[in-house]
Structure formats: C-alpha cells, structure tokens
Amino acid sequence: MKKTVLCFGEVLFDVFPAYKKIGGAPLNVALRLASLGINVQIISRVGNDALGKELLAFIQANNISTETLQIDQSLSTGEVLVQLDKHGSATYNINYPVAWDSIEATAVASNATINANILVFGSLVCRDERSYSSLQKLLKIANYKIFDVNLRAPFYNKELLIDLMQQADVIKFNDDELLEIRDYLKSPYESLEENMVFIAKQTHTKSICVTKGRHGAVLYYNERFYFNSGYKVIIADTVGAGDSFLAGLISQLLSNESPQKALDFACALGALVASHEGANPIVSNESITKLMHL
C-alpha cells in the first residue's frame, strides 16, 4: 500500500506588495510532497468565499484530496500580508480570526489520521483554542508525528511549544528557533549539536532537524548526526523554502533513502525554492539532482 502523509493546519493566501500566492506552511509541505509523488491529504478549513473556492480548486488541481478540507460558513479564508527585506527574508502579518482557526476533529479527519503513516503539524494553528483542541485529539491517534515548529510571534508560548514537542517523533526548526527553545528549556550548552541532543532528551523526541538558511542543515536521527553545508543559489525570497525542505526530507525517508541522502536532497530542494518567488514554484527532480552534484 502506498504510504500517506497527512498535513494539519493553515491554508491561506500570502499577499505580497505586488502579487499574491497560495500558501500556509502545512499546505506548502503538502503541495511539495504531492509534486514528489507522495500520497498526501490536508486537514484545514477555508471560508465559503471566492478565495476559499480558489484554494479548493488549486489544491484539487495539484493532486491533493480535499476530502478532509472543511468549509466555514462565517469566517473568511485566511490571508497573510508578507513584507520582504533587501535579502529576501520575510516578515508576516497574519489575519485573525479566519477559517483555519476553527478546524474541527471530524470523523473524516480522525479516520484520515488513523490511516496516515505520518501527521505533520505546526505551532501557528494552535493560536485558537478550536483548532488547537482538534489537533490535540488527532495527535492522540496519529501513528507518527512530525512537528514543524515554524514560530510566528505572538502566536505561541513556552508551555505550548514544550507540550507539542513532547508529543512529536520528529521536531524540525531553524537555528533561530533552536536558540529560543534552548533558552526555554534552560540548556547549559552552546553548540548546535549539544543543544539538539539536549532537546531530544528533554522532550523524549527521537529525531531533530535544524535548518541553517544558506548554510544548510543538521539532522539528528537514530542517535547519529548528519550534515549538509548548503547549496549556492541566488535568493529571490525565502518564503516556503523550509516547507519544501521538510517535504523533501519526508519524501526521501519514506522512500527508504539514507538519512544523509535525504538531508542532501532536502537542502537542494529548499535552496531551489528560495531561488524563485513564492512558496511553491515548480522544481524538477533533475534540477535537484543537478544542484546536489555541482
């Protein structure tokens, strides 16, 4: 049977100064997984409005089942105002409340969770008690859980992050988020690797991955470290690069590739996404392989 990944969380439009793009971290991960040939579903909620209809059509057109997508009759489809600095790094103004703040743990969502090999979730969707409560119900029945930390101030706190980390089999965050979580847990260590081991032990998590922007990533997997120092590209913007990185890592590990090959593939994919505008540019396997071997 083909393996299935289920993503839980926000679906929305990223509104840039001159254009808008469909996004949301869980949807970005799902879209990239689908493009890599992985069977994927997403649990989220859109408004009964024009943007919601556009999102549903887009998701269906990209080979993702909309069976677990819910339609809200009162709240609107999510939008995020994105500002880019001169280096292409993004800051976000995230509208609230919107449809994905009221995701329900329906029978359809529960059944999909039980049957999925992996559940991917983040912290932003927990900003509202309704979606947070639904996520907690689904985490209890999920087979394998990957927590994409994805911090967006002010929508998180120390207690929430520790709770979610303790329920995860894999935690993925960037190097800035690592430092913040290190301080939350009162780690005595300075080096990245020591802190990864410390966090894994404190949260009883099997694996941790830390992305370092253009400097690549580090993976702690089955008590071993794997490293990639990054691939050189010209940055257009960083929106969605981390999401595609995670999708690449998941797809390779599901295909039983070695952790090192999975990390290299994920870093190359993330770099190529950062070299294009928006979160979901078309990236071919050939271009990923070519960058890996430059």
Q: Where are the strands (E) in the chain, listed by range?
A: 4-8, 12-15, 20-23, 39-47, 69-72, 78-84, 90-94, 118-122, 145-148, 170-174, 207-211, 217-221, 224-228
Q: What mean pLDDT, rounded, does the chain reach?
A: 95
User: How large is the greatest C-alpha to C-alpha distance in the chain, in angstroms?
Assistant: 51
SS3 (DSSP) at 191: coil
CA distances from 288 to 27, 172, 264 (A): 21, 21, 10
- The residue type found at 147 is F
SS3 (DSSP) at 21: strand
Task: Please state the pTM of the whole predicted model.
Answer: 0.94
Answer yes or no: are the C-beta atoms of 148 and 122 closer than 8 Å: yes
Answer yes or no: are the C-beta atoms of 266 and 248 closer than 8 Å: yes
19-71 pLDDT tens trace: 888 989 999 999 999 999 999 999 999 999 999 999 999 999 999 999 999 99
Domain limits, the chain: 4-292
CATH fit for domain 4-292, picks 3.40.50.970, 3.40.50.720, 3.40.1190.20, 3.10.20.30:
3.40.1190.20
211-235 pLDDT tens trace: 999 999 999 999 999 999 999 999 9
pLDDT band at 265 (very low <50, low <70, confident <90, very high): very high
pLDDT reading at 117 higher than 70 = yes
Mean pLDDT across 164-189: 97
pLDDT reading at 172 higher than 90 = yes
pLDDT band at 18 (very low <50, low <70, confident <90, very high): confident
What does the angle CA 78 – CA 21 – CA 126 come to, to the nearest 5 degrees? 35
**156 vs 153: CA distance, rounded Å:** 7
CA distances from 176 to 14, 180, 181, 212 (A): 22, 7, 9, 8
Helix residue ranges per DSSP H, 36-81: 50-61
* Whole-angstrom Cα Rg for the chain: 18
pLDDT band at 128 (very low <50, low <70, confident <90, very high): very high
pLDDT band at 1 (very low <50, low <70, confident <90, very high): low
